[in-house]
């Protein structure tokens, strides 16, 4: 049998389709989410419903966002799901989560076995809606989960780590082997829980400045920050802000990046050009 065919559906690579087939893994994810009736639960990429069915069984209704037209059509006529789902057949990267939370009158609980090809930009999209989100549970490549949970001074610590931890408390939940999926992916996977901070521990005045500094620092991660951030901060300014100029991007904590961003926002003349933010 073709190993890309699952429940009569030919898995589409361009949509990052790897369907969960392992009941133990499915049950573990659902108990980690712990959905309760009355909550506003949203699934990204329900696919053939491996997670949707057990979650919907606990709910009166839930929302799903599925880009693949054929899969959305299957869900529309699914005997156990059709009366419970509000289906948005569209790209989750363009979905307005704030509008949905407003309609629902409460913060959203978002989850999904994410298409790996777009998981990082999709998380950045979701970070812009953290005020509308109560929590998120995602299946990702294990390597991405390692980056999300990393502490500074580690090789896996990067821009994604800083931005994720700026917005959220990040908790690893479960490791998942390739055999739990059809078709079998080449990489290990893991589930992570992201809980947006109700009060940001290190608020910045302008998150675009934080984004710019981290992009610049990690694009040149082998350089010392006196070099990689040299056009934004003098050595004296770095020292004044408590940052050793001989450190590299991975040695600077989230709190320190936020301190740099706030200093720069307060001294806009230091920025080469506003447009590059
Ligand atoms: N949830 C199912 C499971 O666990 O078996 C399917 C997971 S599969 C890894 C990813 C799902 O996301 C697929 O159903 C795919 O069609 C859908 N998808 C891909 N890109 C998407 C996008 N941009 N917006 C919404 N859904 C997308």
pLDDT value of residue 273: 45
In the chain, pLDDT over 90 holds for what percent of residues?
A: 90
Instruction: Name the band, by pLDDT with cuts 50, 70 and 90, for residue 271.
Output: low
Using the predicted structure, report yes or no on whether residue 215 has a pLDDT greater than 70: yes
Instruction: Name the band, by pLDDT with cuts 50, 70 and 90, for residue 9.
Output: confident
Q: What is the pLDDT of residues 74-130, one digit of tens each?
A: 999 999 999 999 999 999 999 999 999 999 999 999 999 999 999 999 999 999 999
Pocket (CB within 6 angstroms of ligand 1): 15-20, 44-48, 50-51, 65-68, 71, 91-93, 113, 115, 118
Supply the residue whose CA is at minimum distance from atom 20 of ligand 1.
15
Give CA 34 to chain center in angstroms: 19
Instruction: Kindly give the number of the ligand 1 atom that is closest to the alpha carbon of 17.
Output: 8
Residue 187 near residue 131 (C-beta atoms within 8 A): no
Using the predicted structure, report yes or no on whether residue 10 has a pLDDT greater than 90: no
Instruction: Name the band, by pLDDT with cuts 50, 70 and 90, for residue 272.
Output: low
CA 49 – ligand 1 centroid, Å: 10
Instruction: Kindly give the number of the ligand 1 atom that is closest to the alpha carbon of 45.
Output: 12
CA 198 – ligand 1 centroid, Å: 29
This prediction's pTM:
0.94
Instruction: Name the band, by pLDDT with cuts 50, 70 and 90, for residue 203.
Output: very high
Instruction: Name the band, by pLDDT with cuts 50, 70 and 90, for residue 275.
Output: very low
- 242-253 average pLDDT score: 98
Q: What is the pLDDT of residues 140-193, one digit of tens each?
A: 999 999 999 999 999 999 999 999 999 999 999 999 999 999 999 999 999 999
Pocket test for ligand 1, best of 24, 92, 115, 121 (most atoms within 8 A of CB): 115
Instruction: Name the band, by pLDDT with cuts 50, 70 and 90, for residue 276.
Output: very low
- 256-266 average pLDDT score: 97
Q: What is the pLDDT of residues 130-141, one digit of tens each?
A: 999 999 999 999
pLDDT value of residue 277: 45
- 255-274 average pLDDT score: 82
Q: What is the pLDDT of residues 14-43, one digit of tens each?
A: 888 999 999 999 999 999 999 999 999 999
């Amino acid at each position: 049998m073709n190993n890309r065919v699952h429940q009569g559906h030919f898995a589409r690579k361009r949509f990052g389709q790897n369907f969960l087939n392992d009941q133990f893994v499915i049950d573990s994810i659902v108990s980690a989410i712990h959905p309760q009736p009355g909550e506003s639960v949203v699934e990204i990429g329900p696919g053939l419903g491996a997670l949707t069915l057990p979650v919907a069984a606990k709910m009166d209704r839930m929302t799903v966002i599925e880009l693949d037209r054929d899969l959305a059509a299957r869900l529309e006529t699914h005997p156990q799901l059709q009366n419970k789902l509000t289906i948005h057949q569209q790209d989750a990267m363009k979905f307005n989560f704030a509008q949905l939370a407003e309609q629902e009158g409460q913060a959203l609980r978002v989850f999904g076995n994410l298409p790996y090809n777009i998981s990082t930009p999709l998380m950045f999209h979701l970070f812009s809606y953290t005020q509308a989100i109560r929590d998120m549970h995602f299946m990702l490549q294990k390597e991405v989960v390692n980056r999300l949970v990393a502490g500074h001074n580690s090789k896996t610590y990067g821009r994604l780590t800083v931005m994720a931890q700026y917005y959220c408390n990040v908790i690893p939940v479960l490791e998942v082997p390739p055999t739990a999926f059809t078709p079998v992916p080449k990489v290990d996977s893991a589930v992570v829980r992201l809980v947006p901070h109700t009060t940001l521990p290190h608020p910045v005045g302008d998150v675009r400045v934080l984004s710019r500094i981290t992009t610049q620092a990690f694009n040149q991660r082998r350089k010392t920050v006196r070099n990689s951030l040299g056009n934004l901060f003098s050595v004296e300014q770095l020292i004044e802000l408590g940052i050793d100029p001989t450190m590299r991007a991975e040695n600077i904590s989230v709190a320190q990046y936020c301190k740099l961003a706030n200093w720069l926002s307060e001294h806009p003349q230091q920025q080469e050009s506003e447009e590059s933010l």
